[in-house]
Structure 1
């Protein structure tokens, strides 16, 4: 139907394929938040004119052309360009449509708040800053929805002014706090869903604030209680609940007070962090954790915690800074991304101590290719930053950082010897260790779930929780780096499968890159045809089913029961079987 005419009882229709394939035929079919594709037909002082369909045009206002606040042009938005947009507002009485090309709004998966029925308290959405005043920030949402975020809802530090963190045209993530009318919403720009403040791609994104965690009667604690100081490390805390939408983990501290671990702070690595969130249940223990910001129990606030192993390890040695007095120029510290702006990446440590890494401080990390910080850095992401300068006289104090070569200058790295290297002071080492710590935590949780299922009469197949190898078996027989005797049971395209007499549940995998030379086999394979070339014969006869092999344990997947092993000469030459080294030493002593 192209044009209905109710008065005449007639509808004009079309059978043209080009018309049928159009997503819409008039502005009446558009709704705020709808993603559309259009062609830029002209660039005017008042914005870019976009043709969405034959006879349907829209205006992209100047401050919606680019993600960068204050910029009214973009190299991508040019005449003839076909781009993705999102509908901001539809004025059906005047047949006018406005759209946005801001990447954050176009790609946003948050709710669309455009009218009174959408303005539900607690709903999170994206918006654009339209005004910055000393008392707060004005934000435009979709449709006719507008709101104001007061000073207490901006997540600013004590001496920080709104204009220092927000600018007109900036995309922000906000939460509806009160909805008296759709045009006068009370908003909060503090978003605990990701462990960070909401924000925009390419502009300022901000980090989580302890003031956002309100307690209820059930979780309230004694007014006389004293909050834990930032940097306090707990070996473990108990999970009280996990918010289904934000994935924030509410926990109970050893003294019974409350804390919160946002989704971004469950792990240094997003993948293993997501796996942990999907496995944790009420009553589980999680740790170790460090207090990022101390809550004030009597005020109804919880302490904000982090399970990031890099932060925990440095805080345990009291090496993670909380104030500028703790910062040393030239030193490297682990931190997390608190915000991303066109002017750089803001990195936060303990408490409110935040430093800025300008674009020049991270561009060299990407092989000289100019990148948008918002495309490479995520909110809450673990980073290692090196301090380049500190201005303690400024209010608030300013800390300048670089993310390039955070472990020290190239000259320092070249001259660093093994004797002077301290692995416990290397943030990168803890990033690697965190992967294995998460894997072990997942194994422990899987064992716990399997035990619970068994007690309830459920099978492992029904629950999906199973651990093939116990921790005791791994520690006794399959510790990484230990030498092992196995027997090949199958030859696969990707390597050799073998079994170990120590545990029938273990499947040893010898990948093709880890296979030994023929001479290292304990029993030689069967002879092959002499007509084949030497290389071909070595490939086919290197290992056969039934061969006994000496291997070294490289890694263990307890849940799958897979033991990755290696048999390269370089690995074997540096290891002997348990006790062999000591026996040789004893023989030498007796001989002498």
Structure 2
């Protein structure tokens, strides 16, 4: 009801107005104008006659509004829940805003709710960014239940279309004009009447101007700009009933797990591709080959529309059975190493339907030496058709031999570099003959181990020859132990940051045996290089050692050559020198240089 009234009181809470009949009413502050009023006395002056619309009457108290849109509205007035018929358009004002929607107040205390999907918001936008409390809105009743005093409203101009509308079909190609650009999406006018906008998310952008409709929901169209999807000639999968076994289609990955991928299709249809159907190499991570939003071509292997379940496969051909003609006894196949054990190697032979192929160690090569080398080189992921073991021989290891391209040589394996699939070889006769002298009943590996244990002892100091110089270690041979091969690190924990010592092939060094070949050392002889002053010895010192008959525990006479705070330096025998720490002597008398003293347990 629209009436005229005179303003009689203006205060901070609003205004008191009086009708011609003398009845007074309240106009709240937020209903004195469409906009917020800071100083109401400037707009409402006492004695002025203004036009109002009655909002409600409760407990003999009348409230009115002076909002221009409400006063001049030509739409029906919604003043009871029984008046809220579906499709009714009316004016109301917002009284509360939540993330999920707005609450709208009408006349006489009637209230309704407009869900977020019916507010016409941009994707990702906050409701408060477009609407505010006490804002007058035009809305439509979509449903009403008077018995429960429930009214559902919509701000959208036209009713929501369904995906069956003839104007927009899922998978159809449409052109559009860009309306809005944000970081996450682009709003596009696709030229279809009745639809507010089309949305292109950033991950569906490409370099052309043709779109394919991804879905249609709540009057919002989502399209894709991905080139593969737009130009795809495969059938469009837009419902679970369309997922027939054997159907090939395009989709995009929405989630990656260790056990497989989840694939999205049109209109929200989703399927699952297990790890075994992704075509991965053994041991590979799914994320190493695929990524979220990647477009993939997949095949439906099974579908249950009732449970909305679709199982997919990326493999080109279906899994075969053991009766297939692809595998014949005696046929040649290639394979990828899956697992390496001491007794066998598990290989994926590339034949669908077979779990694995097994190569036992005795079938790896024609002889045990090569088989052991291959066992060291092979690891999960190696492909047999690409496995190439390269042997490298330095000039120092030729041993005077002359080799030509294509010639067959007999060599000794010095070292194996798994990373580069490289084997260091030697043609030196003393090394090659070591493995060929006694090959009647013992394998070279066992013979090397037995020989090393027989001729060498732990902590024994021996002479060695440098065969190969690596980045962090040396490969050495010990002439006095039938040229057994050993390995010595170039540095230890304390010297790892120091400049490395320089060695060359053929150089003689002094080493200490630290560990004999066994399972803990991977059947390798481990050696320790002596310090510099022990490695480089003069010939006179060597002769003096040979002539000396001093053994551990023998009693000698020594001459004091130097006295230091914590030790004595001594000279004894034929050019031999020694030292003794102060804690190792009980002498209390003053020692002088050139004194002759007797020592026991040298």
Length-normalised TM-score, structure 1:
0.30
Between structures 1 and 2, the one with greater strand share: 2
* Greater relative CO, 1 or 2 (CA 8 Å, sep 6+): 1
| Structure ID, larger Rg | 2
